[in-house]
């Protein structure tokens, strides 16, 4: 009887947690189909707000900027993070622990501190804020996330495979491309997908380093919210949620297939 009550309480508690987490998201999605401009009153079902969203040139331009930054950031951060993770895993040198701590520092410090620091750096270097500074900032905070994911994949890597390849005449680069990279590929892909999601979702750091003409989609949503939340914003948020969930689903499938 006690076990039955315990299970019932666990199910009830879990239901409350999931309700608290996902009910606001469900309401946001529901009101993206609301005919009324007010989110407080449901007047009927419509797709009009999605149509108006795709006719909004400012939003489409911001979406284009976000996707461009995200793709460039994903490619650059994945390459840098993967090579850094392999190097840190393979080689041992004095000060390695301190260097690893510095590399992973952007993960633990608040985003607002990171944003102000990058803004101060670009200001001291007299670099005008714009698309370049936005991409550079995204790469800076994305590389450590790629390194964490790839290092986790390297934890179970057998170094004897590399030694066997080099004994058979493979160069270090051939060993990396044909032996190491295929083994850690799931971690690299997962890190790339995580980087893309973080980049397209960032607000705080982008707020400090984005200049005129380089407004991202999250910043555009933030500016639209200042004038009141309309179903058009709900529709935009719903589409971003769908894209993010698709990326997470793909990453999970890749991880499961390679376990």
Q: What percent of the chain has pLDDT over 90?
A: 9
Q: Which residue has the tokens 């005129």?
A: 212
Mean pLDDT of 164-186: 80
- Take residue 140 and report the two structure tokens written for it: 């800076």
Cβ atoms within 10 Å of 238's Cβ, excluding its own: 21
List pLDDT tens digits, range 73-108. Answer: 999 999 999 988 888 877 777 777 777 778 778 888
What is the per-residue pLDDT across 227-238, written as a single tens digit (0 to 9) for each? 766 777 788 888
Mean pLDDT of the region 132-155: 88
Residue with tokens 């397209």: 200
Higher pLDDT, residue 227 or 57: 57
Return the structure tokens found at 196: 């893309």
Q: Please report the pLDDT score of residue 72 as a whole number.
A: 93
Angstrom distance (rounded) from CA 43 to CA 40? 10
Using the predicted structure, report yes or no on whether residue 1 has a pLDDT greater than 50.
no
- 0.75 exceeded by pTM: yes
37 or 188, higher pLDDT: 188
137 and 205 Cβ atoms separated by less than 8 Å: yes
As beta bridge partners, residue 83 has: none
Question: pLDDT band at 250, cuts 50/70/90?
Answer: confident
The conformation of residue 36, written as its DSSP 8-state character, comes to S
Q: In terms of residues, how long is the chain? A: 259
Q: How far is CA 161 from CA 40, 84, 88, 101, 187, in A?
A: 62, 20, 18, 29, 18
Mean residue pLDDT across the chain:
82
Average pLDDT over residues 41-60: 82
Q: What is the DSSP string of 115-157?
A: HHHHHHHHHHTTPPSSHHHHHHHHHHHHHHHHHHHHHHHHTT-
Mean pLDDT on 181-200: 85
pLDDT band for position 44 (cuts 50, 70, 90): confident
pLDDT given for residue 259 in this prediction? 56
Reduce the secondary structure of 48-104 to three states and give it as a string. Answer: HHHHHHHCCHHHHHHHHHHHHHHHHHHHHHHHHHHHHHHHHHHCCCCCHHHHHHHHC
């Amino acid at each position: 009887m006690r076990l039955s009550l315990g299970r019932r309480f666990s199910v009830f508690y879990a239901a409350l947690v999931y309700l608290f987490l996902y009910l606001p998201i469900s309401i946001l999605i529901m009101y993206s189909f609301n005919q009324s401009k007010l989110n407080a009153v449901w007047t009927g079902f419509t797709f009009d707000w999605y149509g108006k969203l795709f006719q909004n040139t400012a939003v489409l331009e911001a979406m284009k900027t976000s996707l461009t930054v995200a793709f460039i950031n994903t490619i650059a951060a994945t390459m840098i993070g993967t090579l850094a993770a392999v190097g840190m895993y393979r080689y041992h040198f004095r000060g390695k622990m301190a260097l690893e701590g510095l590399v992973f520092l952007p993960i633990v410090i608040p985003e607002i501190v990171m944003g102000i620091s990058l803004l101060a750096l670009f200001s001291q270097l007299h670099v005008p804020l714009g698309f370049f500074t936005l991409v550079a900032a995204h790469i800076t905070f994305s590389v450590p996330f790629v390194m964490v994911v790839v290092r986790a994949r390297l934890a179970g890597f057998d170094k004897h495979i590399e030694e066997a390849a080099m004994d058979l005449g493979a160069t270090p680069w051939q060993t990396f491309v044909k032996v190491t990279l295929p083994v850690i590929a799931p971690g690299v892909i997962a890190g790339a997908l995580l980087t893309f999601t973080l980049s397209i979702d960032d607000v705080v750091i982008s707020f400090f380093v984005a200049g005129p003409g380089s407004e991202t989609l999250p910043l555009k949503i933030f500016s639209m919210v200042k004038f009141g939340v309309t179903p058009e914003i709900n529709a935009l948020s719903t589409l971003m949620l769908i894209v993010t969930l698709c990326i997470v689903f793909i990453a999970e499938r890749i991880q499961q297939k390679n376990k």
